[in-house]
Structure 1
Amino acid sequence: MRTLILWLFTVLFGLTHSYADTRPTIETTAPKRVVHIAADYNYPPYEFLDEEGQPAGYTVELTYAIAETMGLDIDLTMTDWQSAYTGLLDGTYDVLQNIAYSEERAKHIFFSSPHSIVSQSLFARKDGPHVDDISEVSGYEVIVQNASIMHEYLKQNFPETTIIPAPTHSAALRLLASGKHDFALTANSPSLYLSQEMGLSNLEPIARPVAGQRLSYGALPVNEDLMALFSEGLAILKNTGRQQEIYNKWFGTLDQSKTQWKKLGQYAFYTILALLFILGGIMIWNSMLRKEVERRSEQIKAQQEQLIQADKMASLGVLVSGVAHEINNPTGLLMLNLPILRSAWEDALPYLDEVEKEHAGLYLGGLSYQRLKAEIPYLLDEMQHSTDRIRNIVNDLKDFAREQPDEIWQEVNINQVVETAVRLVDKSLRNATEHFALHLDPRNPKIMGNPQRLEQVIINLVLNACDALENKSQALTISTSLNPDQSELLLAVEDQGCGIDQQALPRLTDPFFTTKRETGGTGLGLSVSAGIVKAHKGRLSFESSVGKGTVAIASFPILP
């Protein structure tokens, strides 16, 4: 169902922005809508105020990305959770960006599609009382964030528990660490993050975690249209990989201790200092030999670089094959077992329904049966999607070591592929430039190939061109044409952006080489694209001047 919804969003988005003219110029005339959004100032790494008092975190960055994609202006207010929640209900704020879903909340709040899932854990002092399951907390004093989903959960399911409200997660953890009360029931990732930040070494998570909570954007029914926009924006960011990049930025290194890194940094400093003295001596000795070596090394150097590159690519092919094999084995098991698990759950539903009729209020794993019945299909879908993503990443890496893609080829009208790709990146184009032009050869040239892989190449080239533009007055042009003897199709993506240094041009398609490392580039996009073009018996080349722009040209043999 979730896949169908995402597909419908993508189709509707494409139909709304289809190109009727082969040479359109996109003009932005409608004013952006201002959306007032509230967020918790103390819920890292999802949302928090950094050392300079500025909003930061996974959800904050995701919100700005959605606003950019959907053409919205946002007014983000960082406050405590209770004030944010109350402000949503009384209309002070249009949207609450990090609210957990519950059936009770859904009666008066519209939720977007979820952007993440967070588990809740029971934290205890290492020398304090311990339990094996959340169901055993009755009679204990449990600290929760005031008005949070866990506050509601304890009040509804364990009324005999003494609930101690705290304004923030950090306040709850500090209270527990100081020796007061028995447990704290808080979100797992933020609590681990805060424990490390505050040095609360006497706390640890215990018992089995409470089942994951879906975190979404929430709004009152009067702003239901906003939830549709945010759901559409999430779908676009997910399909383009931008959401995963933001997630990796904030959660990829959560388990690393800052203290350990500081110690490693000190060791590295002294090691580098010693190496610098050694390196100085080597450089002096090397300068004495350089003149003699340079006279005889020019030709040898060129040959050596070719051999090194060939050896590097051969080694990379072996490495990718081995890694792909090791990853595909557990991935294959997941893909095999998930349908069995889904089928087993569906077969068990009639029996569980009968048991639930006989025993009202049936609980499994600390959750009501009716909630599990609604949540488990969603969780299985998420697991299936994640497994498919692992498989796709492995397949991209395997393209480096593969001569030809193993997909079935067909006759492809390259103009249709370009139009499809342009529709998918329309929002990025409109955000990047006010002067976009599309010139398609009226002869509708055709080649043999795989349209999905060719579409991937075009999207990569267009997004790179958008990144290169420094302001909206600079132009971006996509064109298809034939070479003079009409033996090759030429697909060109030209931008008037910042350009590329001449020394970097020969390395643009090297695996893991990128000029955008500081903004999250991985160096895989152009490498994969070059592999796809080569597999289609074509060539990918670049022409660029710093400050004037870049032209990327993909050439393919024309279909006779």
Structure 2
Amino acid sequence: MVGADYNFPPYEFAGENGEPTGYTVELTKAIAEVMGVHVRFEMGNWQSVLEGLYSGRLDILQGIAYSDERAQNILFSSPHSIVNYSIFARKNSPSVDKVSQLKNKEVMIQNASIMHEYLLDNNIQAIIVPVKTHAEALRLLASGQHDYALTANSPSLYLSKEMKLNNIHAIASPIAGQRLGYGALPKNEELIALFNEGLAILKNTGKQQKIHEKWFGTLESAPFPWKKLGLYAASIIIALLLAISVIGIWNSMLRKEVEKRSYQLKAQQEQLIQADKMASLGVLVSGVAHEINNPTGLLMLNLPILKSAWEDALPYLAEHAKDDPNFSLAGLRFDRLSQELPYLLDEMDQSTLRIRNIVNDLKDFAREEPNEITQEVNINEVVSTAIRLVDTSIRNVTDDFEIHLDKRNAIIIGSAQRVEQVIINLIINACDALENRSNTIRITTTQSLDEKDVLIVIEDKGRGIDPANMLRLTDPFFTTKREQGGTGLGLSVSSAIIKAHHGKLAFDSELGKGTYVTVSFPVYKPSNAMEGTFTNTDYLESYIKK
């Protein structure tokens, strides 16, 4: 449910038949289409839709201005517009250059709007006259009531032109532009993330700009010559008639072929939308990772120096504290600070490492097809190595761990390190899914019946996956473990690695019973391949016995 102001043109307003229309309405529909979600609109005066968001009746507002105060209770998307506000007055009214000059003046503003909050928060001491809409404020001003109106530029110009209000004009724009975007309550964090992603895609593909030009071009461009338009229209009509004739002939010849391929085209369109979404997101992620890496590097370099400096200074500070029992630093007594500061430094160090790991995940996600996929990789050896690396994680969650390795020792062409990264991610996910130590984790390597693919099956008897989440498992930033520090990049990166190796990733899960994850890769069978035994068998057998 999307909330919208019913009279804030050209951003959002009710059309002739009462249907939602305007720039933000069309933008929301475009985001819904590219992200594959369904939206419905509820329109009303601004105060009512804002109350609807706070009450939970509405999931998201599509045209809410950002402020630090609002951000304490509302999550905001990236801005899709910058709205400038001006002081409007009658043409014979005294000039006003600053907001402070509105003191003791009757100023009309839209009730509960960002300007309403601005006047109150900044103690302007104007006589505030709240109205429901911009149209009401401008109409009252033009009729001689009250002194000024503090309203948004584009809607005011649009409404003044529509209502033919010739005796009012903007006299000053003393307030910085306001960022307009999507807003939702914190419980709808995933919804804001979804709209953010869709907005980024529209920006990168140029569709947002086209929608913007459609709704704001008429306010900025000069009137189009009607005679010239008539000539263009006549030319277009003739061309259309010819095109319709040709299309009619072709349509009768190709109708059966079109019906045959319609389903295929629909599937391809969905793939193209997904590919475009991933490409746009990859560009954004690459930039973010680069920007975060630099300050993170400085933190990792400087924190050990700070820790060393503290350790060097500690004996001198302790000596001084003997002479002055009340000696304190940073508002804390020295005896307390000497105990807590090492923990603070360690926490900062660990947090910096976490930032670095997240950035590495982001870089892995944004990375194009690896160029090191040229090695002969023994799948059994990779699985064995991955198990050794996560040995502690496995032992911490289960007493029932099983390994079954195919004795055919399948070889693939790829990157052992990247495939190992996939197996580790999937094993960690299996560990996280277990609810008690009696739950089983089983890892199996085998081959398809035609021996063209090697299969890696990771099975857990854990809590299972909600069917509603199955289609989103490999979406970047989607995670059900946000509170435990999950970033939602593990399966996205793993999926990209598997695709780069021409493999496949499949999930089969049932709530309360567990999950099967199957990874398949094409088997490489060189003519001179030699049969052999798996070099890590002794380790695995000893692991199972333990």
TM (normalized to structure 2)? 0.42
Say which one has the larger Rg. Answer: 2
Determine which structure has greater relative contact order: mean sequence separation of CA pairs < 8 Å that are 6+ residues apart, divided by chain length.
Answer: 1
TM (normalized to structure 1)? 0.41
